[in-house]
Amino acid sequence: MQKKALNQGLLKFLQQSPTPFHATANLAAILQDSGFSELDEGEAWKLKAGKYFVTRNQSSIIAFVIGKTDRTKTGIRMSGAHTDSPCLKVKPRPEIFSEDYMKLGVEVYGGALLNPWYDRDLSLAGRVTYQAKNKQIHNLLINFNQPMAVIPSLAIHLDRDANKKREINAQTDIPPILMLSGKSQTLDALLKKQIKKENPKSNLQKVLGHELSFYDTNPASIIGMKEEFIAGARLDNLLSCYVGIQALLSADPGVTSLAICSDHEEVGSASAAGAEGPFLKAVLKRMIPDTEDRLRAIAKSLLISTDNAHGIHPNYPGKHDANHGPILNKGPVIKVNANQRYATNSETEGYFSLLCENSEVPFQKYVTRTDMACGSTIGPITAKEIGIRTLDVGVPTFAMHSIRETAGVDDTFHLYRALSAFFTDTGHLGAG
Ligand SMILES: [Zn+2]
């Protein structure tokens, strides 16, 4: 795939994936279009050489290619990413009526940067569980897909210190405004209307539950004088999800490869569908049922965990270690942390460095300032759960966890080329 097509595909994917549920459905559609067969965790699997994918909770997905070569010798090439991003999630009974306005109460999901949520044209999307007229329970995804809410800033005239010290109380300051009056309005009624519009055959009788989040309707776009940046919501980490799955499509069919995109990374990954849950373990067990063979295969495998990395901000260069300030468009960043907040070790770093060099992909290195705390990601969690050698990498990004983040158009392609080289590497993964 060429750079332009990859970035255009990413823009479209971001636009169509306001929630982990939508991201998973869209990744599944890409895989299906490329000849991957869907598996159901509740059914018996009869796997042979071929291409498969499976989802859990409609919000995590594992895609894999089973090759004919002996996995106890060649191992499994794995890439990892996460489908979730920090956002505002609607409370179960969210209706708030104040000063003749209807607002919706929200929880903050993950470590969201809250300031940028003000004055945006927000919409609402997610999963709804409902009872149908035949009494059965169903899930479906909805997306209002139109600007329908706003969190207005308080005017500076009413808070003269706003530029110096405005604090945000997440309970009282950020419930988005939906409409004027509407005293008798309920979210359930709005959902019913929307479900009927999007799914006329849903046979909806009663809404039972929902997992809805607000998102910015402003679409992702290519920006900068030289059109060298990509700005959009959820680049952390839908960029890696999209690029990882696209790279898997070109995997060598002879060897075994796998890409996992899991939910709940932003809240610690400890869930049935998260990286600390049993999803990957369960799939590996079914791919290689014999324990001895599976453990041998895992010992030969390698995971490239692809989350984003902090690009050095030219207005705040002091926030980075002087020797480790990744620049946008200068290649994926190998992330290192002595305290295992990243799982990279010298061997996995060595493997990835050579992989990049051999494919003429530039790469950079990142370590957090020693006087600052380091974030973490799915890499160390998966390494701990599976016992797999792991490397943490990511494209350099500005404004991580903002409602709009910025990355480089070259870096999506650099990461794609590095992962494609990984998925077509039929040799030994790591030191001999
Ligand atoms: Zn992330």
Given a cut of 70, whether residue 7 has pLDDT beyond it is yes
Gap from CA of 400 to ligand 1 centroid (Å)? 8
Strands 177-180 and 101-109: antiparallel
Residue 80 above 80 pLDDT? yes
> How many whole angstroms separate alpha carbon 201 and alpha carbon 232?
33
Residues 181-209 have a mean pLDDT of 92
Task: List, edge to edge, every strand of the sheet that includes 122-132.
Answer: 137-143, 122-132, 204-216, 87-98, 101-109, 177-180
Distance in Å, CA 420 to ligand 1 centroid: 21
In whole numbers, what is the pLDDT of the chain averaged over residues? Answer: 96
pLDDT 10s digits, 18-73: 999 999 999 999 999 999 999 999 999 999 999 999 999 999 999 999 999 999 99
Query: What is the Cα–Cα distance from 115 to 109, expressed in whole angstroms?
Result: 15
148 CA distance to ligand 1 centroid (A)? 27
Tell me the CA–centroid distance for residue 254 and ligand 1, in Å: 31
Confidence of residue 431 (pLDDT cuts 50, 70, 90): confident
pLDDT recorded at residue 1? 85
Confidence of residue 182 (pLDDT cuts 50, 70, 90): low
Distance 84 CA to ligand 1 centre (A): 8
Residue-level pLDDT at 363: 98
Q: How many angstroms does the Cα of residue 310 sit away from the middle of ligand 1? A: 10
For residues 429 and 354, the answer to whether their CB atoms sit within 8 Å is no
**Stretch 81-88: mean pLDDT, rounded?**
98
Contacts of 251 (CB under 8 A, 6+ apart): 65, 77, 257, 423, 424
Q: Give me the torsion for CA of 8, 402, 31, 127, rounded to 10°.
A: -130
Predicted structure pTM score: 0.97
Per-residue confidence band for 365, with pLDDT thresholds at 50, 70 and 90 = very high
Q: What is the DSSP string of 315-377?
A: T-GGGS-TT----TTS--EEE--TTSSS---HHHHHHHHHHHHHTT---EEE---TTS-----
Binned at pLDDT 50, 70 and 90, residue 430 comes out as confident
Average pLDDT over residues 259-266: 97
What's the pLDDT at 184?
81
CA distances from 329 to 225, 356, 406 (A): 14, 14, 11
What pLDDT score does 99 carry? 93
The pLDDT score that the predictor gives to residue 307 is 96
Whether pLDDT at 124 is above 80 = yes
